[in-house]
Amino acid sequence: MVKKILYINGDGVGPELMAGARSIVDELADVEWVEGEAGYAAYLKHGTALPNDTVVSAKACDAVLFCAVTTPPGIPNYKSAIIGMRKELDLYANLRPFDSLPNVPAPSWTGAPANSAPAPLHFAIVRENTEGLYSGIEEADEVRATALRVITRRASERIVKFAYEYAKKRSFSKVTLVHKANVLRKSDGLFLEVGRAAAKPYAPAIACEDAIVDSVAMRLVKSPGDFQVIVTTNLFGDILSDEASALIGGLGVAPSANIGQKYALFEPVHGSAPDIAGKGVANPTGMLRSAALMLAHLGLEPEARKLETAIESAYKQNIKTLDVGGTARTHDVVEAVRKNLN
């Protein structure tokens, strides 16, 4: 069946990375592409970073493939397109899988003895995407500024359930609830209480552990192999997932999914990388891996696996961009992946 996909190039390296990803998806699936505008270029053209047409189109498509947008400094009241999309489509779960790639230098401390290759990592972070410290409720006067950290039973329940369903589907055997309930007794206390209850139906096949966020930040550096699926609130998830991307080679290789009850949007973790835009050197891996997550979400699991394997093979062949220690250009990596599909 033809899948209808809204693609949003965005700004900076967006158009060049999206072109490669679309051409690869076309090799794997029957897709009708619909273009949507968003980001700074859209703002300059339409006076808004997220035109209503884009939201309407997104709701009429099976999925959204998004690259990255620039948020320009110094424009008061500028509203970020990606944050707007997450809100408009109620994309409550932010999923970031972290999988090591062959021939990508990983930090030497990752659980391996000196002079040996670190063990490959395979884990995921699920971040609550709609509330917490990013609920957008802030106040300021001359002497004080406050931000309201909202934790609700409903959002906590659905995010933990999402994490367990993901663990089940991907054959993980442990989920870690990450919190700071020792200090944030009421808000994270609620997250923890609800999380433990939501975990019960999955025991004993999937174990539930909980851990305090600062110790998790330390353990991610020291022994990242401890983790399988981490589920946490908005701010903690934001910070831990950038930290985790460094363990597998940095922003250029990390994909993400934003998933809601009805809609889903897939995007690389990195931003618009204006410093390298138009030079043909950006790493397409995060974008391609995001496309693989999209295919899996659309029920095209074998095609998703095929794409992930083709990416891994390109790395085995040492075809990789500058940011991960290679010399290949964007185009070389995309073409290597295309060849490896067959």
Tell me how far CA of residue 277 lies from CA of 7, 86, 116, 149, 267, in angstroms. 19, 25, 36, 36, 17
Residue 82 binds: one of ligand NAI, Mg ion, none (C-beta under 5 to 8 A by kind): ligand NAI
Q: Which of 305, 306, 309, 311 is nearest to 328 (CA)?
A: 311
Of 158-166, 184-192, 203-211, 282-290, which part binds ligand NAI (CB under 6 A)?
A: 282-290
Annotate each residue in 237-276 with x if it binds Mg ion (CB under 5 A) or - if it does not, as one string. Answer: -x--------------------------------------
- Give dist(CA 139, CA 241) in Å, integer: 28
Question: Does the footprint of ligand NAI cover residue 82 (CB under 6 A)?
Answer: yes
Residue 210 is a catalytic residue: no
Residue 77: CB atoms within 10 A of its CB come to 4
> Of residues 134, 164, 166, 315, which has the active-site annotation?
134
Please give the span between the terminal C-alpha atoms of the chain, in angstroms, as a whole number. 22
Residue 11 is a catalytic residue: no
Q: Which residue's CB atom is positioned nearest to Mg ion? A: 238
Question: Does the footprint of ligand NAI cover residue 68 (CB under 6 A)?
Answer: yes
Residue 180 is a catalytic residue: yes
- Give dist(CA 312, CA 320) in Å, integer: 10
Residue 134 is a catalytic residue: yes
Question: Does the footprint of ligand NAI cover residue 256 (CB under 6 A)?
Answer: no
Strands 207-212 and 93-99: unpaired
Residue 238 is a catalytic residue: yes
- Give dist(CA 88, CA 56) in Å, integer: 10
Q: Could you say which of 180, 270, 297, 306 contacts ligand NAI (CB under 6 A)? A: 270
Phi, psi dihedrals of residue 44, rounded to the nearest 5°: -65, -30
String of DSSP letters for 32-96: EEEE---SHHHHHHHSSSS-HHHHHHHHHSSEEEEEE----TT-TT---HHHHHHHHTT--EEEE
Residue 249 binds: one of ligand NAI, Mg ion, none (C-beta under 5 to 8 A by kind): none
Structure token pair of residue 251:
């922003």
> Of residues 53, 59, 214, 339, which has the active-site annotation?
214
Question: Does the footprint of ligand NAI cover residue 37 (CB under 6 A)?
Answer: no
Q: Could you say which of 232, 283, 290, 340 contacts ligand NAI (CB under 6 A)? A: 283
- Give dist(CA 320, CA 333) in Å, integer: 6
Of 111-119, 138-146, 215-223, 270-278, which part binds ligand NAI (CB under 6 A)?
A: 270-278
Of 96-104, 267-275, 299-307, 333-341, which part binds ligand NAI (CB under 6 A)?
A: 267-275
Which residues of this chain interact with ligand NAI, rule CB under 6 A?
A: 13, 68-71, 82, 251-252, 267, 270-276, 282-283, 286, 323
